[in-house]
Amino acid sequence: MRIRCFFPMAAAALSASALQADPQHLEIEAGSPGEYVVSWDGVAGRTYFIQYAMTLADPTDWSYFPVIESGAGSEIEWVFAPTEPELYLRLVYTDVVVGNPGLADFDGDGVSTQDELDKLNTDPFKWDTDGNGIDDGSEDFDGDGLTDIEEMNIGTNPLIDDVADVTDDDPQPEPPGTYQLVVTGTGDEPVNNTRTINTPINGPSKYLVVVAVDSDEFPEWTRDQSEYNDKVSWKVEADFVEWQSGDLEVNPLHQDWLDGIAEGRSFRGYQPSSFVLVDVLELTPDPGGSQPSVEVFFDLTVENVGDAQYPTTAIMALIPLDLQPTPEMIGSLGDEVESNLGVNGERHFVTTKKNAHLNDDFVKFEMKNLSNEDFDQFLEYESDGQSDPVDTRKRLVSRGAAAKKTFEVKLRDKFGGGEIDKMNVWVTWATLGIDPQHSLANAFFTGPDPDDASKYKQGADIRFKADYLPTSLFDEAADVPKLNEANETLPPGPQVLGANKRFDMSRQVDVVINNVAQAIQNADPDWADFAGLDFPENPIEANDDEHSLGETTPYDPTVSIATDKDVPTQRLGTNLGALGDQYDVDAHFREFARVNIGDRWYMASEQFEVTMSWRMLRAQGANGPEWQDNGGSVQSP
């Protein structure tokens, strides 16, 4: 390998007054195996370039390495690994001050310095590198019909004819659930086709209407000066009334097709597509009438002008816009609930906060009938929630906290924006505890039963309170889900009396027999059932709530607050048992809130634990044997 460095270099040889030969010291030395290090003193404010030649037979035949270095008053090093047996280098610079030399356009040909070095292999200091009178940016070096600047803007290679790779069409069949009409011009005579679509009255009320145009005349024959200017016209009617219509010539779409390549834009397999109409058609059928559907009529005409070899195709599509919970959400994490304002209200989905029993992080929604490509091109979500990283049609709404969360789906701003649909997601949850107006410390009672002189009783008057969030869920003066009504289905388990509303408080019990005299057991016909009570496995199943004693809902009398009452009591006959007999039993209660959404019940709170300890002893009293308190209590862990 033989490498030589040359300097100085006459500025005239470059035909650029801004570029000068570098009279500075330039050194080259061997580095790692196969590599060389070029170094020089970089003067502050100068921008340096390295040129190379394989031979000196032609003193003007110098090319640029894709290297731009800015001087800063210190040594500059550049490492390269040549493959040619002989190589000549020279260093040139400019003192023209620019902010970023890579983005600068020193010769005014519309191409940045870095793009000239990296993509075009042209001289960044010559407006017309090959001297044919056309600036480097307006050249079409690969002859594919696009200028160098156009190709760099859309991401194709300006030196290779690869435009066909991004303009070849692959027509696709009509996607399920949607409707389309495709017309291709095949000659000078206009080609017309129509389609009538009957949309069911019980289906979505909003439809996306798209008119897209693709032409084989692009890019070579769609510039302004082209004589081949195909024509497209369309009309959309709804129930025999014109909704929108239009007509156009395709040549003015040239720049939009360029933008479409850069965006990767296609429609139904036609690429690039220009969207000449994207709008929302809202149908308002009369469900109470005799009309079974609303009729939508498409009329589409394409005229190929001058040369049938390069046809133009137009596509009309009608896409139902249907925002729904994903199928696995319904009846699993919640359900959509009718507004309390009826058909005039907004849409509401109700779920519970993430908990140990339902620990999904998100409720998921999706726009049905659209592909990811269609959704990304035409629609977007706004406000609460986040996009699914895999499927952009889906919206994920967190269940991490009790709150009202709202998101909208809308047309993208470039198509005029505008809300298409909105979903209110209500994440509800209650915090349970003892009602502070009825302290647990004052709940315990023991002594002769004032209502039955033949009994001694011991128990507790326990008052529970549930604080629900969000409080706005229960404001019936606003637009909220209709939940203040009878439940749709009974909750699980045998104890369902009193559970006649959608919001319910109930409890589970587990009985532990410590020491109970046999005489007491024999006297109680339900003893076996009582002693066998265990916590149900289903966390929302109750086995100790056979009435609605003291229970209120979060609607009445206090908004967002519900209450429940339990009075676990044991009564022993005053003449029952022998001296020394005991009644020593613990009942562990788990109070909880639940809500009926759709046809399923959901846990709406953590379980709140209370233990009732009955401790009674048969002892000698002033008037003979009697039952006495032996340390009974009620407490919450």
Whether residues 437 and 341 fall in one domain: no
Whether residues 529 and 466 fall in one domain: yes
Cα(473)–Cα(349) distance, rounded to whole angstroms?
11
pLDDT value of position 556: 87
Whether residue 24 is predicted with pLDDT greater than 80 in this model: the reply is: no
Whether residues 260 and 275 fall in one domain: yes
Whether residues 418 and 500 fall in one domain: no
Cα(337)–Cα(341) distance, rounded to whole angstroms?
11
Instruction: Indicate the SS3 state at residue 92.
Output: strand
Among the candidates 398, 429, 460, a domain finishes at: 429
Tell me the pLDDT band of 233, cut-offs 50, 70 and 90. very high
Which domain does 27 fall in, by range? 2-154
Q: Which residues pair with 278 in a beta bridge?
A: 210
Preceding peptide of 470 cis, ω within 30°: yes
Among the candidates 293, 320, 347, a domain finishes at: 320
Q: Which of 224-238, 419-433, 563-577, 586-600 has the lowest mean pLDDT?
A: 224-238
Whether residues 423 and 481 fall in one domain: no
CB of 217 closer than 8 Å to CB of 250:
yes
Q: For the chain, how many structural domains are there in total?
A: 4
pLDDT value of position 3: 44
**Does residue 389 lie in a domain region?**
yes
pLDDT value of position 138: 82
Whether residues 79 and 205 fall in one domain: no
pLDDT value of position 363: 97
| Structure token digits, residue 90 | 């020279």
Residue 218 is part of a domain; what is its CATH number? 2.60.120
**Does residue 590 lie in a domain region?**
yes
Preceding peptide of 554 cis, ω within 30°: no
Closest CA to 119 of 153, 94, 80, 87: 153
Sign of the Cα torsion 554, 558, 562, 566 reads: negative
Whether residue 388 is predicted with pLDDT greater than 70 in this model: the reply is: yes
| Structure token digits, residue 75 | 């040594």
Whether residue 1 is predicted with pLDDT greater than 50 in this model: the reply is: no
Q: How many CB atoms lie within 10 A of CB 26?
A: 17
For the segment 38-81, what is each residue's pLDDT rounded down to a tens digit? 888 889 889 988 888 888 888 778 888 888 888 888 988 888 78
**Does residue 159 lie in a domain region?**
no
**Does residue 343 lie in a domain region?**
yes
**Does residue 160 lie in a domain region?**
no
**Does residue 498 lie in a domain region?**
yes
Instruction: Indicate the SS3 state at residue 188.
Output: coil
| Structure token digits, residue 558 | 């206090």
Whether residues 295 and 382 fall in one domain: no
The CA dihedral of 55, 60, 64, 65, to the nearest 10 degrees, is 20
Whether residues 89 and 119 fall in one domain: yes
Q: Which of 60-69, 234-243, 289-298, 614-623 has the lowest mean pLDDT?
A: 289-298
Of residues 500 and 349, which shows the higher confidence score? 349
CB of 619 closer than 8 Å to CB of 578:
no
Closest CA to 487 of 479, 472, 498, 473: 498
- Sequence-ordered strand ranges (E) for 388-516: 394-398, 403-411, 419-434, 444-448, 455-460, 462-469, 503-516
Whether residues 299 and 340 fall in one domain: no
Average pLDDT over residues 588-611: 97
Residue 409 is part of a domain; what is its CATH number? 2.60.40
Sign of the Cα torsion 612, 618, 620, 623 reads: positive
Average pLDDT over residues 414-439: 96
CB of 500 closer than 8 Å to CB of 513:
no
pLDDT value of position 19: 53
Tell me the pLDDT band of 6, cut-offs 50, 70 and 90. very low
Cα(213)–Cα(230) distance, rounded to whole angstroms?
11
Arithmetic mean of pLDDT over the chain: 88
Of residues 443 and 171, which shows the higher confidence score? 443
Q: How many CB atoms lie within 10 A of CB 14?
A: 21
**Does residue 166 lie in a domain region?**
no
Q: Which residues pair with 295 in a beta bridge?
A: 198
Closest CA to 417 of 553, 579, 279, 236: 279
**Does residue 249 lie in a domain region?**
yes
Average pLDDT over residues 97-124: 86
pLDDT value of position 62: 86
Three-state SS sequence of 362-400: EEEEEEECCCHHHHHHHEEEEECCEECCCCCCEEEEECC
Tell me the pLDDT band of 400, cut-offs 50, 70 and 90. very high
Average pLDDT over residues 407-429: 96
Q: Which of 199-203, 396-400, 462-466 has the lowest mean pLDDT?
A: 199-203
Average pLDDT over residues 572-583: 96
Average pLDDT over residues 321-334: 94
Phi-psi region of 529 (alpha: psi -120 to 50; beta: other; left: phi over 0): alpha
Tell me the pLDDT band of 17, cut-offs 50, 70 and 90. very low
| Structure token digits, residue 391 | 């499927």
Cα(157)–Cα(60) distance, rounded to whole angstroms?
27
Cα(516)–Cα(514) distance, rounded to whole angstroms?
7
Cα(548)–Cα(553) distance, rounded to whole angstroms?
11
Whether residues 396 and 425 fall in one domain: yes
H or E, element range at 153: helix 148-154
For the segment 453-510, what is each residue's pLDDT rounded down to a tens digit? 999 999 999 999 999 999 999 999 999 999 999 998 999 887 766 788 999 999 999 9
Residue 31 is part of a domain; what is its CATH number? 2.60.40.10
Tell me the pLDDT band of 217, cut-offs 50, 70 and 90. confident
Tell me the pLDDT band of 292, cut-offs 50, 70 and 90. low
Instruction: Indicate the SS3 state at residue 472.
Output: helix
Whether residue 288 is predicted with pLDDT greater than 90 in this model: the reply is: no
Cα(613)–Cα(586) distance, rounded to whole angstroms?
5
Instruction: Indicate the SS3 state at residue 235.
Output: strand
Among the candidates 120, 154, 188, a domain finishes at: 154
Closest CA to 428 of 551, 335, 545: 335
pLDDT value of position 513: 98
Instruction: Indicate the SS3 state at residue 88.
Output: strand
Average pLDDT over residues 170-186: 86
Whether residues 274 and 344 fall in one domain: no
Whether residues 228 and 277 fall in one domain: yes
Q: Which of 1-10, 23-32, 238-247, 542-551 has the lowest mean pLDDT?
A: 1-10
Whether residue 5 is predicted with pLDDT greater than 50 in this model: the reply is: no
Tell me the pLDDT band of 308, cut-offs 50, 70 and 90. low
